[in-house]
Structure 1
C-alpha cells in the first residue's frame, strides 16, 4: 500500500479587537464556499512562521512580525487521497487593513460566531481551541454541606474567567447537587463557566451549566457524544487510546496526565513532557496538561501543542 503524502499547512488565527479574520473559499476549489482561516502550504526550506508571514501577506496584505506568532493547535486530518497537518498559530499584532488579495471575501468574526458547519471538518478542532481558556480549574477536596460550600465559594472568588470543573467524588448525590446550585448561582452573569463532573444525566438537572466533564469510567462505556452540541464536553484521559475514545465521543477537549508528580498522588507514574508532546501531536482535539501544573507551565504546555493546563493545586 502506498504511503500517503503528508502536506504541512500553516494556518493563521489573526485576532483584532476580539474578532478573528476569516476568508471564504472560492466556489470552484475543493470544499468551495466554506469558510477558512488564512494560510497555506509550507514550502521546502521554510519554517512554519516564515510560511505564515508570506501567506498572510499574499492573501490579505497584512504584515505579521514572525516573533508575535504563538502556537494554538496541530491537527492531522486524512482526506482519503491525502493527509494534511494543520499547524495553527495565532497573532494579535498584524499590521495594516485586511483585504482579499486573491479575490476571496474576508471578514472578522468572534469565536462564538464560528460554526462547525461553515468550515471544513479538519478546521473544527481549531474552533474548539479558540473558544477554550488556557487554564481549566478543577475543584479539590470538598467536605459535606456548609464547609464544602464555604470552601468552594472562597475558591470561586479567585477565578475571574474560564472554566471550573466541579469535581467532588466524595459527596453523595444530594450534597453534590447543592454544591452545583451554589456554584451556578455564584458564577451567574460572570465570565466563569461551570462544568459538571460525572454522568450525562447531570445536565438534564442543571441545564444552565456550561457543560459536562466525563471521568474515564463514564467515557469508556459510551459509544457516542452524550450531550448536545451547544454544551461543552470534556474527558479525562491517560493514554493514546483514551484520547481516541474522547475523539470518538466528539469531545471538545481532553485532559491528559499526570504529566508531572503531584502531592495528591505521590509515587504515581507520570507521563513527562516528552510523552505529553507525542500524545498531543496525534490528537485531534484540544488537550490540557494535567498533574503538577502551575501557571508557569502554560507556555510550556502550549509550546508542546497543548491547549494549556488543568489541575487543582495552582488555584485551590
Structure 2
C-alpha cells in the first residue's frame, strides 16, 4: 500500500553524478536487494541535511566508486521529481568531468563505462530516463524565422555554428503549406547533415513518414490538442506517467526519433511527458514582440515549472546564447529561439 503518511509529500533528495570520460559515462548496476534492484543507474546517493549537492556528490562518488571528484568542475544537468507510488524522489543530476582514480564498485556493485548512444531506457529506473535524454540532446535549438529561402537558412546556420559547439535546427515555417514545407525540408536536410546537426521537423507526426531521415518532430500545441487523449491508451494517465504503459501506447512517433513539444504551462509540460516527449520548450521566458499578449515567466517561475517536469525543458522567448548557462542553472536543458541568430 502506498505511503500516505506525513513524510509522503517530502521527496528524497538524491545527488546523481553523470561521470563523463569523453563520450562515455560511468554506469553502475543496483544490487538485487535494493529498491529497483538489478537495474542500471548513475552513481550517487542521498543528500544529507545541511549538505550541498556538490558535497554530497564528492562524498558519494568516493564511497561508491572510489573516485575523487573536483566539485568546481561539476555543472547541473537536470532535476527530476518522480513518484514511484511507494517512494518519491528528487534527482539532482550533475555532470562530473574532473575526477581522479579508477572507478570500482566499493559496495559490491558492478560498474562500467558505457557510450551514451548505447544506454537503453528499459535498463534504468523510470526516473533516470530523462537523464539519458538530457545527455543526448543539444544545449540549443536554432529555430528558423519565416523563410522558404534555403540560401538564407544556410548563411544563418553557418554564421551561428561558427560560434557554437553543439546546436540543432528546428525547421519552423507555419506560413507554408505542407507540400511547400516538405520541399524545403528535403533541401535543408543535406545542409544539416553537412554540418553534423540534427534536423527537427515542425508540425504533425505524419511529416516523419515523408522525411524519415529527420531527427524527429516538434509538435505545436495546435497539433497536440488533436492527438488521441492518452486516457484512451491502455492504463490511466498516472500509470503511463510512471512508465507502466509502453511508450508506443501514448507516443505519437516511433522510438528512435526525437519528440519535442511546445509548452506554455505546467499542465502542458505534464501532458508532454504523458505522450512520451523527449524534450519540451517552455515560453515565453522574457517579453517577445511575436507574442506580446503572453505574460513572461522569468527565471524563478521557469525553475519551479521545470523542476516538476518529467522531460528536459528548453527556455524559449527573448533568450540568446548568453542565456544557456542561466537555463541550465535553473534546471533547463538550454535554449531555443529565433531572434538571437536569425538574420
TM range, smaller chain: over 0.9
Task: Identify the range of structure 1 (22-31 vs 46-55) with the bigger mean alpha-carbon deviation.
Answer: 22-31
Q: Within 5 A, what are the aligned runs for 1:89-168?
A: 89-143=94-148, 148-158=149-159, 160=161, 161-168=166-173
Counterpart-to-counterpart distance in 2, 1:31 and 1:81: 12
1:305 partner SS? coil
Counterpart-to-counterpart distance in 2, 1:199 and 1:138: 17
Q: How far did 1:311 drift?
A: 0.3
Q: Within 5 A, what are the aligned runs for 1:200-239?
A: 200-222=205-227, 223=229, 224-239=250-265
Q: Within 5 A, what are the aligned runs for 1:246-285?
A: 246-266=272-292, 268-285=294-311
Counterpart-to-counterpart distance in 1, 2:104 and 2:172: 47
Match of 1:175 among 171, 180, 184: 180
Check if 1:26 corresponds to 2:31: yes
Check if 1:286 corresponds to 2:312: yes
Q: Deviations over 1:99-118 (max 9, x none)?
A: 11111111111211111011
Alignment-derived partner of residue 2 in structure 1: 5
1:13 partner SS? strand
Counterpart-to-counterpart distance in 2, 1:180 and 1:172: 12
Counterpart-to-counterpart distance in 1, 2:293 and 2:178: 31
TM-score, length-scaled by structure 2: 0.88
Counterpart-to-counterpart distance in 2, 1:9 and 1:175: 49
Q: How far did 1:33 drift?
A: 1.5
Question: Mind listing any 5+ residue stretches in structure 2 that lack a counterpart?
Answer: 230-249
The 8 Å contact of residues 159 and 192 in structure 1, kept in 2 or not, is answered as: no
The 8 Å contact of residues 213 and 234 in structure 1, kept in 2 or not, is answered as: yes
Counterpart-to-counterpart distance in 2, 1:155 and 1:206: 23
Question: Mind listing any 5+ residue stretches in structure 1 that lack a counterpart?
Answer: none
TM-score, length-scaled by structure 1: 0.95
Runs of 4+ in 1 over 3 A off after TM superposition: 158-161, 263-268
Q: Deviations over 1:112-170 (max 9, x none)?
A: 11110110111001111111111111111114xxxx22211222323544311100011
